């Protein structure tokens, strides 16, 4: 299996592992999946925290590994930097997220909400909040950078995914100021579905390749499309 194919497999693995939160719909998690943030599933007081922390670590590590593989001999182009750098940052921040989980799930505990309002949380909890913001930037950079290496429908779908990621990210920031509830969890889930769909589609189609421009119809027979 060549480097490109391995990267594709890793991206599929990342997309599947990053979608493990869907198991919350069949597991007795005790959280409102409409209002609670997905990251609360891995909070320190939640019963399935080990499961969700592990799957996030797998997803993040797979993204980092794929980015490193694809960066080998990659052309030094801005779009390539954003695509692969964004993917690397996305994966790394997901690993940090999973390794510095929230102290408790505020959606399920009034005491936890009071603790957060007072700022009486651990350093790991604070780091989780910061890394979650970085995750959004990495996610968006990867998707925007990738559109440079595809054409037609694929490019339109990547732009649509980027718009969804950006819009939901802004919505979550606003909803967070309103306190618990307000469908913040559901909004975040839309973002996660968009990100996982991009990862899985890219992997399955082996679209993530050494960065380069797509081949034109008039390109010589020896040339090939370089997609990401």
pLDDT of residue 195: 94
pLDDT at 209 (0 to 100): 54
- pLDDT tens digits in sequence order for the chain, 228 residues long: 687 888 889 999 999 999 999 999 999 998 988 888 999 999 998 999 999 999 999 999 999 999 999 888 777 777 788 889 999 999 999 999 999 988 888 877 778 888 877 888 889 888 998 998 899 999 999 998 888 777 788 888 889 999 999 999 899 888 877 766 678 889 999 999 999 999 998 887 754 454 544 444 444 444 333 333
21 HSE (CA, 13 A, CB side): 29
Distance CA 189, CA 194 (A): 9
Closest Cα partner for 138 from 42, 18, 53, 227? 18
pLDDT per position as a tens digit, 53-99: 999 999 999 999 999 998 887 777 777 888 899 999 999 999 999 99
Whether residue 44 contacts residue 104, with contact meaning beta carbons closer than 8 Å, is answered with yes
Q: Which residues contact 29 (CB under 8 A, 6 or more apart)?
A: 41, 46, 47, 48
Rg (CA), the chain: 18
Half-sphere exposure of 42 (CA within 13 A, CB side): 25
| Angle, vertex CA 26, rays to CA 24 and CA 27, nearest 5 | 60
Question: Looking at residue 210, what DSSP letter applies?
Answer: S
Locate 169 and state its tokens.
């990210």
């Amino acid at each position: 299996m060549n480097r490109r194919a391995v990267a594709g497999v890793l991206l599929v693995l990342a997309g599947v592992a990053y979608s493990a939160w869907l198991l919350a719909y069949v597991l007795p998690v005790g959280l409102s999946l409409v209002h609670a943030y997905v990251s609360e599933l891995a909070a320190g007081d939640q019963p399935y925290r080990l499961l969700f922390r592990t799957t996030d670590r797998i997803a993040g590590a797979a993204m980092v590994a794929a980015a490193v593989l694809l960066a080998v001999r990659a052309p030094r182009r801005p779009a390539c930097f954003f695509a692969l750098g964004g993917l690397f940052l996305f994966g790394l921040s997901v690993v940090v997220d999973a390794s510095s989980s929230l102290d408790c799930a505020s959606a399920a505990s009034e005491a936890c909400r009071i603790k957060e309002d007072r700022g009486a949380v651990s350093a790991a909890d604070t780091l989780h909040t910061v890394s979650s913001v970085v995750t959004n930037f990495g996610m968006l950079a990867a998707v925007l950078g990738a559109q440079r290496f595809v054409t037609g429908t694929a490019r339109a779908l990547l732009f649509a995914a980027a718009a969804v990621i950006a819009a939901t990210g802004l919505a979550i920031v606003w909803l967070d100021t309103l306190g618990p509830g307000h469908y913040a969890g559901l909004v975040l889930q839309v973002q996660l579905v968009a990100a996982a769909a991009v990862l899985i589609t890219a992997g399955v189609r082996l679209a993530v390749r050494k960065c380069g421009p797509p081949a034109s119809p008039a390109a010589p027979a020896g040339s090939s499309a370089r997609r990401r």
